[in-house]
Amino acid sequence: MRIAYLDCFSGLSGDMFLGAAVGAGVPLEKLQQAARSLNLGADLSGHTVQRAGLSAFKVDVLIHGRPDQPADDPASSTDAQHRHSHDEDSAHSHSHNDAHVHSHRGLPEIRQLLAATPLSTFVRDFALKAFTLLAEAEGKIHGQPPESIHFHEVGSEDAIVDIVCAGVAAEHLAAGRWYVSSLNVGSGTVQCAHGVLPVPAPATAELLRGLPIYSAGPAKELLTPTGAAILRALDVQFAPLPPITLTATGYGAGAREFTSQANAVRLLLGELTMSRASAIPSFGADAGVNESVLVLEANLDDMNPQIVPHVMERMLAAGALDTSVTPIQMKKGRPGLLLTVLASPELAEVLSRILLAETTTLGVRMRTEQRRTLERRHETVESPWGPIRVKLGFLEGTLVNCAPEFEDCRSIAERTGEPLKSVLQQALVLFWAGRERRGPDRLRNHP
């Protein structure tokens, strides 16, 4: 299985992700074709630059032939300075306040824009997922339904191009799983459409919930809302780099040069090594993923049960695949809890330390087991209340599992007052109706 790993030691923006993807083997021409297909007057250019002595690829979004450049870049034109005079605290070439230049777009407008393109289903679903997550984050911050949110920053042409082209790059790279390092968000303040706000910006912070973040280096915004949305759309997992046979690397450059660190993101691609593969025999090319999985267990009989959800959240944030709690009967008739954690084997040290520090257990049991998983992907259905993602599982290329994304359905139920069970049922009805129109659905070569 192909693995992709993002080292975000200087944060992440849309153009940095694209630069790293090109460096790792995605043809720039393929991204340019996608940008032009949006009918926004957009195109891409790219060139190699130096960042603290490191060679990295810089991608620029062109709108009607003009580059998007930060205000304090000496090469910026007068027009560019007018457009981005607010952006002096940002380290990457994105915009936080394009309201006076670009029209405000909402989720319905972006959905229509994507539907009118010749892009693949995977790319459209990826972009729509990213913008839906952004709308939900903005909606939560402002107390409004996601469908009524009009994007100031990420509805601009350059942000749309970044996200769509990120989907094209992800499809081309065809990684079975995306991992990410701890995220350097930067520090200081940024001028947004809603005034001066601390870094990370509110929407960025909302999107980063559950992921490990830190602040280091210059007092600049290093992780942008577009970068955070791309990470979420990729379904990244936080974990150390798993054992892989390295096949490609790419460095994507940010807009500015720092003296203290390279303003770039690194993308590593490789094939999972045999040490992670299961001894279970394969059942065909598309049978699924066979791998080793770490199981950690601890018996708890003297801990405040209110602490358990906190421990589970910490384990997931540290990269655990799943956690569960089972009531058990312990010695002397005492009731207790069995806390079970599933994770990649390389996380044994990190997760066991969290369990020992956060719970009252005196020891953690650890063992390695084999598991076989279905090939997975998401599709999006359009409901009367908005888009709903549906999780799909394939065995040997045949669809065997289908479930609406619970959080999408719960968000709709809370926003509309519709019973949650009705939203879940309607999502399945719409999915199967669409599948009947398309015919038998076989697994395609998607990440």
Strand 335-343 with 386-395, pairing? unpaired
pLDDT in tens, the chain (447 residues): 789 999 999 999 999 999 999 999 999 999 999 999 999 899 999 999 999 989 999 999 998 888 754 433 333 222 232 333 333 345 665 444 433 344 567 788 888 899 999 999 899 999 999 988 888 888 787 777 666 666 654 447 888 999 999 999 999 999 988 999 989 999 998 877 667 888 898 889 999 988 889 998 889 999 999 999 999 999 898 877 878 889 999 999 999 899 889 999 999 999 877 444 433 333 333 345 567 889 999 999 889 999 999 999 998 888 888 999 999 998 888 899 999 999 988 888 889 999 999 999 999 999 988 888 888 888 889 999 989 999 998 887 788 999 999 989 999 999 999 999 999 999 999 999 888 776 654 434 333
The residues, ordered by sequence, that sit 6+ positions from 429 with a Cβ below 8 Å of its Cβ are: none
Whether the CB-CB separation of 92 and 226 falls below 8 Å is answered with: no
* Res 304: pLDDT: 92
Cα 321 from Cα 334, distance rounded (Å): 30
Which residue, 27, 59, 268, 33, is CA-closest to 162? 59
Cα 125 from Cα 121, distance rounded (Å): 6
Which residue, 348, 385, 377, is CA-closest to 365? 348
Cα 112 from Cα 284, distance rounded (Å): 39
Domains of the chain: 2-272 (no CATH), 289-373 (3.30.70.1380), 375-438 (3.10.20.300)
